[in-house]
Structure 1
Amino acid sequence: MHRWWRPSLKNWKRRSRPPVDIDKSILMSIPSLDIRRFTHPTSAEDRAAFVRELSETYREWGFAGIRGHGIPDTLTNAAYEDFEAFFGLPEIVKKRYHVVGGGGARGYTPFGIETAKGAQHHDLKEFWHIGREIPRDHAQADVMPANVWPDEVPGFREHGYALYEALDKLGSNVLSALALSLDLPEDWFADKTNYGNSILRPIHYPPITTPDVPNVRAGAHEDINLITLLVGASAAGLEVLSRKGEWVPYTAEEGTIVVNIGDMLQRLTNHVFPSTTHRVTNPPGEAARQPRYSTPFFLHPNPDFLIDALPQCVTDDNPNRYAEPITAHGYLLERLREIKLA
């Protein structure tokens, strides 16, 4: 039986010592939880236990597996087929959907652009961004551009946006549980994310054909947003940096969606919920010659939401780490410049 424990606030600071590679014989496990205990509970006690366990998992790992989410495999598989079909198109066709000067906000971003903060080399990936569909006369339309859709893949829009909406709903449920764990109303995040600049990002990591590649598929980084939901990664490679400074491989079981804390929620909670460093490594041997596909959903707050540390997350042991609040859009722009997308 998993033993849950609550670490002291003073121990939640990010470790400064360099990470070490984990001995693969060490058994370390990031917990997975069934969210039906929250959305369709059998008792009030079990619902409260889910909230507690989810909170404690995030306090320890910044990552959790979510089961029982109700997103059908048929939708996930159809979306992945369309994403793979797009990435299989000729380079000249894909680049028609690259929005020059758009900071990668919508459409296609070619191979060799995004670079993890502080990294010397760019990531080994190309990707597409699907954003929230809003009326073009909406107050946030100037910072949330219209989507771009590829004509060459007929189902891309239908399946891509259906997956977007399904993950957005799941993310809202996770945030509701976290709100309760912070002694906030269950619906506290609802009107702060209903027009969030959230992104679905289908990613293609091409095969690695030379042994001396100096960079990894995705360098060590933390996510920018509130929470990230990763559905249907097609291969191993994700590694999470533990509190002990060890890289822990994490390949979720079938039907489990990986959900991790991003920097915006870390800042909002004054690091009570840590945004954990993670990376996507290059596989050894012949496995490196296989492509890898993954599709994270980056759940953002509304662009005008002010990220300011919650009072209940500021204590004598955990003083406020941020001198000034910042809007979600302002923070996003800062981070996009750091990773060379803006």
Structure 2
Amino acid sequence: MNAIPSVDLRDFISGDQERKEKFIREIGSAFENIGFVALSGHFLSDKLVEDLYDEIKKFFNLPQEVKDKYEIPGIGGQRGYTSFGKEHAKGRKEGDLKEFWHFGQYVENDPKLEAEYPDNVEVKELPHFNEVGKETYKMLEKTARYVLRALALHLGLEETYFDEYITNGNSILRPIHYPPIKEEPKNAVRAAAHGDINLITLLMGAHGRGLQVKNHNAEWVDAIARPDQLMINVGDMLSRLSNNKLKSTIHQVVNPPREEWGKSRYSIPFFMHPVSEMPLNCLENCIDEDNPKQFEDITAGEFLHERLIELGLIKK
């Protein structure tokens, strides 16, 4: 399978049982085979997408000393700004050629989680930045909830299995800026080959070349979505939970051809995380003689902590 399959969320929420089952079949098959789909029919309006890109470009264009004010020490980059080259892929020393911002959860009716998560960071220079970020966060979270409902049914679970775990979950919206490349990079790419940590990732901005996915034949395939689509992939948490029935696919963002080095690239992934207590123990109905249990029992919080150490974002 070389092309990234396309699905339409409107099929799932149409109220028509045949269309709903078609969506479940299509997304289930895509996530078992290549781990990625291009999804249309999501809850982001064109206006919201345009506003968000406008705001994040304004932020990344601020003077470096202004951006640096928003880099918060001691929280592993979970909120606010992370400067260029700080993060690296698991197993690599070279920092990725990017800078980024994190919006986190807007907790409702849960004082314990409100205390657990760092506060979102307000950008004083841009009056609309935070409200546009929050609205985008909410719409992507809503889209992800329906995708996970379809996957729950595909895995033989009750449709709302994930709902309790993702309500007030530790999800992150990450606007990324890959600045123009000024000199030959030394062993560094815009984002080195990696799998995502979380349950699923919803990516805005996979419209041009750059994002590549490794298929089952270990070949790199370009993952390009239409402007109205989100690219969605399985993360390691969902792979563990499903005993690798749903594939967390290795992907990367490669450097552009030299003639395009002078251009910035922007992408905006939404990493759907559950609450930290969610058990990621392999589901019983995903274990059998042909597919024995592949992963140790662990909670989402423990797994995330391990990975943040491997990424160099927090110290042991």
Structure 1 residue 244 and structure 2 residue 232: aligned?
Answer: no
C-alpha deviation, 1:200, in angstroms: 0.1
The one-character-per-residue Cα deviations of 1:149-205 (angstroms, maximum 9, x if unpaired) are 211111111111100000000000000000001111111111111021000000000
The one-character-per-residue Cα deviations of 1:19-45 (angstroms, maximum 9, x if unpaired) are xxxxxxxx931111111110114x312
1:131-170 maps to which residues of 2 (within 5 A)? Answer: 131-134=104-107, 138-170=111-143
- Distance (whole Å) between structure 1 residues aligned to residue 185 and residue 26 of structure 2: 43
Structure 1 residue 340 and structure 2 residue 312: aligned?
Answer: yes
Alignment check: 8 A CA contact 2:181 2:261 kept: yes
C-alpha deviation, 1:231, in angstroms: 1.2
Alignment check: 8 A CA contact 1:110 1:126 kept: yes
C-alpha deviation, 1:288, in angstroms: 1.6
| Closer/same/farther in 2, CA of residues 212 and 181 from structure 1, 3 Å limit | closer
2:91 corresponds to which of 108, 118, 122: 118
Alignment check: 8 A CA contact 2:101 2:176 kept: yes
Equivalent residue number for residue 178 of structure 1: 151
| Closer/same/farther in 2, CA of residues 239 and 326 from structure 1, 3 Å limit | same
Q: Any unmatched runs of 5+ in structure 2?
A: none
Alignment check: 8 A CA contact 1:235 1:292 kept: no
The one-character-per-residue Cα deviations of 1:82-104 (angstroms, maximum 9, x if unpaired) are 01100101111001011111100
Q: Percent identity?
A: 45
Equivalent residue number for residue 30 of structure 1: 4
- Distance (whole Å) between structure 2 residues aligned to residue 49 and residue 74 of structure 1: 29
1:302 corresponds to which of 272, 275, 278: 275
- Distance (whole Å) between structure 1 residues aligned to residue 229 and residue 109 of structure 2: 35
Q: Secondary structure at the match of 1:330?
A: helix
Equivalent residue number for residue 257 of structure 1: 230
Equivalent residue number for residue 302 of structure 2: 330
- Distance (whole Å) between structure 2 residues aligned to residue 242 and residue 214 of structure 1: 23
Equivalent residue number for residue 10 of structure 1: none
Q: Secondary structure at the match of 2:138?
A: helix
Equivalent residue number for residue 14 of structure 2: 40
C-alpha deviation, 1:70, in angstroms: 3.5
CA RMSD of aligned residues (A): 1.4
Superposition TM-score, scaled by structure 2 size: 0.96
Q: Secondary structure at the match of 1:158?
A: helix
The one-character-per-residue Cα deviations of 1:268-311 (angstroms, maximum 9, x if unpaired) are 00100010000000001221210110000000011111111100
Number of residue-to-residue matches in the alignment: 314
Equivalent residue number for residue 54 of structure 2: 81
Superposition TM-score, scaled by structure 1 size: 0.89
Alignment check: 8 A CA contact 2:106 2:168 kept: no
Alignment check: 8 A CA contact 1:270 1:310 kept: yes
C-alpha deviation, 1:136, in angstroms: 9.4
Equivalent residue number for residue 184 of structure 2: 211
| Closer/same/farther in 2, CA of residues 136 and 98 from structure 1, 3 Å limit | farther
1:108 corresponds to which of 70, 81, 84: 81
Q: Any unmatched runs of 5+ in structure 1?
A: 1-26
The one-character-per-residue Cα deviations of 1:125-167 (angstroms, maximum 9, x if unpaired) are 0101000112697112343111002111111111111000000
Alignment check: 8 A CA contact 2:108 2:168 kept: no
What one-letter code is carried by the residue in structure 2 that aligns with 1:239? Q
- Distance (whole Å) between structure 2 residues aligned to residue 332 and residue 55 of structure 1: 25
Alignment check: 8 A CA contact 2:2 2:215 kept: no
Alignment check: 8 A CA contact 1:104 1:341 kept: yes
- Distance (whole Å) between structure 2 residues aligned to residue 228 and residue 73 of structure 1: 20
The one-character-per-residue Cα deviations of 1:303-326 (angstroms, maximum 9, x if unpaired) are 111111100111111111123x21
- Distance (whole Å) between structure 2 residues aligned to residue 98 and residue 136 of structure 1: 28
What one-letter code is carried by the residue in structure 1 that aligns with 2:89? A
Alignment check: 8 A CA contact 1:234 1:292 kept: no
